[in-house]
Chains A and B, each alone.
Chain A
Amino acid sequence: MSVHTGEKPLLRVEGLKTRFFTEEGQVNAVDGIDLSINDSEVFGIVGESGSGKSVTALSVLGLIESPGRITDGHVWYRSPELVESIGADEPSAVDGEYVDLQALSPRVRRTLRGTHFSMIFQDPMSSFNPSLTVGEQIAEAVESQQRARANPRSVASRTQGYGLSSFIMSTVMPSKRYVKEESLDRAIELLEMVGIPDPVLRAEEYPHEFSGGMLQRAMIAQALAGEPNVLIADEPTTALDVTIQAQVLDLLLELQEETGMTILLITHNLGVVARMCDRLGVMYAGEIVERGTLHDVFNDPVHPYTQGLLGSIPDLDGTRDRLQPIAGNVPSLLDHEMPDRCFFADRCPKAMQECLEKPPEFGIAESSSHATKCYLARTSYDETDALTEDYFSSETAETQQIESDGGTQ
């Protein structure tokens, strides 16, 4: 773990908005988030289910699918190497050493997957194709990255010379297969690197013949095939047994130290964050509500939501009798149901009148390393400002009243 301060960040997400246009209405899954992630650090994004963590990750990779769309914002990625190779083709996407991934054509962006950005997913069992061997799937990753690196600018690298006709040919002629022998060898090396015993044999096996932990290792191997600069790990241990979780996390840290890659770790598990991360952002209802170093956020949480999250961790010392859950649920992210106020106000034990008038922004006066979207960051809490306890229940009752009135007309 190394924290580079004062350096230019590797990844700068600015005002990223990802919307899903569903039949029920517009869902603001990611609602204008700002992040900066430094080189070789482990950055955690923490939040409850449905807070937009995974969508943020997929947005960075450019893997949002219909009906979802990134409607606004930039993902600036610092890579002089990339600027050099694509600068001439896509000048509008380049700013100094940075490339705006959002402005790149989908084809160029695809060539960055695996080589610059890689991702591991929550459930290894469903993230491997059940009818191809694990070795073959890892070798595919190796192959596609070699082809992308071999000639990053040519049109051939975008389709990688692999169209429908090549696919049909490959079913009859082994020499036309996408995956070459050398890539399979490399896949076996990768399996060995992530600590899978008998990699030669295991490479020939299908995903259902692996245990969950072994398969998650295999997925890590697959993600590392292209020696990516940024590894996005979306709940990498959630589907695993607790005993295996620690092994996988240790493996990730080990590999991070070896390769110096940056890890964007997405999790709802604060224990995982504490073990892994240098810095983190707390996400709530599509927004980052608090961000800072692990130390800042864990020892001095400002946002009541962060405080609530930390308060809901079991304490083995037994100093706390009961866990303190955060009351209520994650709010609906439907655009027309989202109020123009702090989204957390209705669950917040310290909500004030101010919170209802205008959503809070990241304060300017705060130190850049620790920032919070909460008025409490600059005013200390005064109980006299508090809203009455039944404020939101009466408000809900009112709205319902209005709705039912509207309904009868």
Chain B
Amino acid sequence: MSQARFLIRRSLQGLLVVWGVITLVFLLRFITPGSPVDFVAPLDASPELRAQIAINLGLHQPIYVQYFDYLFGLVRGDMGFSYIRGRPASGIILSRLPATIELAVAATIVAIIFSIPLGVLSATRRHEPTDYAATTFSLVGISTPNFWLGIMLILIVSVGLGILPTSRRPIGLIPALEMLIFQLQISGIRTWIAHMILPAVTLGTYFTAMIVRLTRSGMLDELGQPYVKAARAKGLPETLVTYKHALRNTMIPIITVLGLQLGSLIGGAVITEFVFNWPGLGTLVIDAIVVRDWPIIQGALIVIGIGFVVINIAVDALYTKLNPRVSYE
């Protein structure tokens, strides 16, 4: 099967998954107690007003009609109207999306940059100080709660040393890049980086620690394989044996985990976003849940679901590239 057909088929499967997510998310509203009207109507609203609001919200119609209305709305990019914020939900969600994606990608990049070399060193210098340092780090990193690490970093780096800003960033990556390109001003991107470092480190630490362990054990496994001995026997330099041969095969499971993690970061960076007052999806969902802002909750969950599906398809495509034994089937 060719790669194009593989991607088309996986995309269709992905659409099915997204449809499932939408349906579940839609039904979620009906199994939670309380009517959306309660959150829109004033406390002293008359029954007539409440009925009118229900009609405005489309709540008087049968569920299946509401469902198809919602579905067709989604296809047009309409996620409903957030009465609490007084704006369409899709606009609010889309405005929060870049911050979340930037943070997730930055944390993943931090993790990849530190974890893979550290894991490789740890494996090639097994039972040496480097290895002990790396394994200790990964144990500490895995067991440190995110919120605590975030708060400590803010306390020490921002408040104590005054090096980096504490919270709520003033500028996103795209405006910062626009400033750099069109106005030739570097200050935007500098502010962006300064605000990105602590959240990315906080979010990336657990991730780094986990990948260090995966890389280390994977590398130890691969370095013990006969093909590594054969590669040494033909006189290859050790760097080539380590990186081109052993690491390549170690990366196969790591890519899978990286993909799953990146997916979960899009929805699951809630605590880190909260600690750093990050204008992302995580804080948006928390705020929306507190006030039962259903269009926002539903829309955000769907966007997160789509993110998961897209990343998984990308991982599968990459997987077949890395591992020739897996064909496009």
Taking a contact as CB atoms under 8 Å apart, the answer to whether A162 and B239 are in contact is: yes
Name B239's contact: one of A113, A130, A145, A167 (CB within 8 Å).
A167
Taking a contact as CB atoms under 8 Å apart, the answer to whether A222 and B234 are in contact is: yes
Instruction: Confirm or deny: B42 has a beta carbon within 8 angstroms of a beta carbon on chain A.
Output: no
Instruction: Confirm or deny: A243 has a beta carbon within 8 angstroms of a beta carbon on chain B.
Output: no
Taking a contact as CB atoms under 8 Å apart, the answer to whether B323 and A131 are in contact is: yes
List of A residues within 8 angstroms of B238 by Cβ: 110
* Cβ of B71 to closest chain A Cβ, rounded Å: 43
* CB contact list, B221-247 vs A, under 8 A: 225-227, 229-240, 243-245
User: When each residue 6-45 of chain A gets 1 if its CB lies under 8 Å from chain B and 0 otherwise, what string results?
Assistant: 0000000000000000000000000000000000000000
Taking a contact as CB atoms under 8 Å apart, the answer to whether B226 and A114 are in contact is: no
Whether A141 touches B248, Cβ cut-off 8 Å, given contacts A63-B229, A131-B323, A208-B325, is no
Chain B CB within 10 A, most for which of A118, A140, A219, A222 = A140
Q: Which of A120-128, A316-324, A325-333, A345-353 contacts B (4 or more CB under 8 A)?
A: A120-128
Taking a contact as CB atoms under 8 Å apart, the answer to whether A167 and B244 are in contact is: yes
Instruction: Confirm or deny: B324 has a beta carbon within 8 angstroms of a beta carbon on chain A.
Output: yes
Tally of A-B Cβ pairs under 8 angstroms: 104
A165 and B165 alpha carbons, distance in the complex (Å): 34
- In the complex formed, the residue of B with least CB distance to A148 is B235
Instruction: Confirm or deny: A210 has a beta carbon within 8 angstroms of a beta carbon on chain B.
Output: no
Taking a contact as CB atoms under 8 Å apart, the answer to whether B322 and A131 are in contact is: yes
Taking a contact as CB atoms under 8 Å apart, the answer to whether B235 and A128 are in contact is: no
List of B residues within 8 angstroms of A219 by Cβ: 230
Instruction: Confirm or deny: B249 has a beta carbon within 8 angstroms of a beta carbon on chain A.
Output: yes
* Cβ of B224 to closest chain A Cβ, rounded Å: 9
List of B residues within 8 angstroms of A63 by Cβ: 229, 232-233
Chain B CB within 10 A, most for which of A66, A115, A162 = A162
* Cβ of B253 to closest chain A Cβ, rounded Å: 13
Instruction: Confirm or deny: A273 has a beta carbon within 8 angstroms of a beta carbon on chain B.
Output: no
* Cβ of B145 to closest chain A Cβ, rounded Å: 34
Taking a contact as CB atoms under 8 Å apart, the answer to whether A126 and B225 are in contact is: yes
A163 and B234 alpha carbons, distance in the complex (Å): 18
- In the complex formed, the residue of B with least CB distance to A57 is B233
A222 and B232 alpha carbons, distance in the complex (Å): 12
User: When each residue 302-329 of chain B gets 1 if its CB lies under 8 Å from chain A and 0 otherwise, what string results?
Assistant: 0000000000000000000011110000
A162 and B231 alpha carbons, distance in the complex (Å): 15
* Cβ of B281 to closest chain A Cβ, rounded Å: 32
Taking a contact as CB atoms under 8 Å apart, the answer to whether B226 and A121 are in contact is: yes
* CB contact list, A112-165 vs B, under 8 A: 112-115, 118-119, 121, 123, 126-133, 137, 140-141, 144-145, 148, 158-160, 162-164
Taking a contact as CB atoms under 8 Å apart, the answer to whether A167 and B240 are in contact is: yes
Name A118's contact: one of B233, B243, B324 (CB within 8 Å).
B233
Taking a contact as CB atoms under 8 Å apart, the answer to whether A129 and B227 are in contact is: yes
Taking a contact as CB atoms under 8 Å apart, the answer to whether B227 and A126 are in contact is: yes
Taking a contact as CB atoms under 8 Å apart, the answer to whether A145 and B244 are in contact is: no
Instruction: Confirm or deny: A61 has a beta carbon within 8 angstroms of a beta carbon on chain B.
Output: yes
Chain A CB within 10 A, most for which of B233, B248, B322 = B233
List of B residues within 8 angstroms of A118 by Cβ: 233-234
List of A residues within 8 angstroms of B232 by Cβ: 63, 110, 113
Name A61's contact: one of B231, B233, B325 (CB within 8 Å).
B233
List of A residues within 8 angstroms of B240 by Cβ: 140, 144, 162, 167, 178
List of B residues within 8 angstroms of A163 by Cβ: 239
A119 and B226 alpha carbons, distance in the complex (Å): 12
Taking a contact as CB atoms under 8 Å apart, the answer to whether B245 and A111 are in contact is: no
User: When each residue 47-77 of chain B gets 1 if its CB lies under 8 Å from chain A and 0 otherwise, what string results?
Assistant: 0000000000000000000000000000000
- In the complex formed, the residue of A with least CB distance to B228 is A129
- In the complex formed, the residue of B with least CB distance to A109 is B235
Taking a contact as CB atoms under 8 Å apart, the answer to whether A127 and B230 are in contact is: yes
Whether A132 touches B233, Cβ cut-off 8 Å, given contacts A163-B239, A164-B239, A167-B240, is no
Name B226's contact: one of A115, A123, A208 (CB within 8 Å).
A123
* CB contact list, B87-131 vs A, under 8 A: 126
A20 and B39 alpha carbons, distance in the complex (Å): 74
Taking a contact as CB atoms under 8 Å apart, the answer to whether B248 and A206 are in contact is: no
Whether A113 touches B235, Cβ cut-off 8 Å, given contacts A130-B249, A167-B240, A206-B324, is yes
Taking a contact as CB atoms under 8 Å apart, the answer to whether A159 and B323 are in contact is: no
List of B residues within 8 angstroms of A115 by Cβ: 235
* Cβ of A171 to closest chain B Cβ, rounded Å: 9
Whether A110 touches B239, Cβ cut-off 8 Å, given contacts A127-B227, A131-B248, A206-B324, is no
A166 and B324 alpha carbons, distance in the complex (Å): 24
* CB contact list, A249-279 vs B, under 8 A: none
List of B residues within 8 angstroms of A58 by Cβ: 229
A127 and B230 alpha carbons, distance in the complex (Å): 6
Instruction: Confirm or deny: A342 has a beta carbon within 8 angstroms of a beta carbon on chain B.
Output: no
List of B residues within 8 angstroms of A283 by Cβ: none
A115 and B324 alpha carbons, distance in the complex (Å): 30
Taking a contact as CB atoms under 8 Å apart, the answer to whether B229 and A223 are in contact is: no
Instruction: Confirm or deny: A285 has a beta carbon within 8 angstroms of a beta carbon on chain B.
Output: no
Taking a contact as CB atoms under 8 Å apart, the answer to whether A130 and B235 are in contact is: no
Taking a contact as CB atoms under 8 Å apart, the answer to whether A129 and B234 are in contact is: no
* Cβ of B114 to closest chain A Cβ, rounded Å: 15
* CB contact list, A173-191 vs B, under 8 A: 178
Instruction: Confirm or deny: A55 has a beta carbon within 8 angstroms of a beta carbon on chain B.
Output: no
Taking a contact as CB atoms under 8 Å apart, the answer to whether B237 and A110 are in contact is: yes
* CB contact list, A82-129 vs B, under 8 A: 110-115, 118-119, 121, 123, 126-129
Chain A CB within 10 A, most for which of B231, B235, B236, B245 = B235
Whether A145 touches B235, Cβ cut-off 8 Å, given contacts A131-B249, A132-B248, A178-B240, is yes
List of B residues within 8 angstroms of A129 by Cβ: 227, 231, 245, 248-249
Taking a contact as CB atoms under 8 Å apart, the answer to whether A127 and B226 are in contact is: yes
Taking a contact as CB atoms under 8 Å apart, the answer to whether A111 and B233 are in contact is: no
- In the complex formed, the residue of A with least CB distance to B246 is A129
Taking a contact as CB atoms under 8 Å apart, the answer to whether A111 and B235 are in contact is: yes
List of B residues within 8 angstroms of A148 by Cβ: 235
* Cβ of B115 to closest chain A Cβ, rounded Å: 15
Counting from the closest, the 10 A-B pairs by CB-CB distance are A114-B235, A113-B235, A141-B234, A127-B230, A126-B226, A119-B233, A206-B324, A167-B243, A129-B227, A114-B234
A-B contact pairs, 7 of them (CB 8 A): A127-B226, A127-B229, A130-B227, A140-B240, A141-B234, A145-B234, A178-B244
Report which A residues bind B (CB closer than 8 A). Answer: 58, 61, 63, 66, 110-115, 118-119, 121, 123, 126-133, 137, 140-141, 144-145, 148, 158-160, 162-164, 166-167, 178, 206, 208, 219, 222-223, 225-226
- Given A129-B227, A223-B234, list of 7 further CB < 8 A pairs? A119-B230, A121-B230, A127-B230, A130-B249, A131-B322, A158-B237, A206-B325
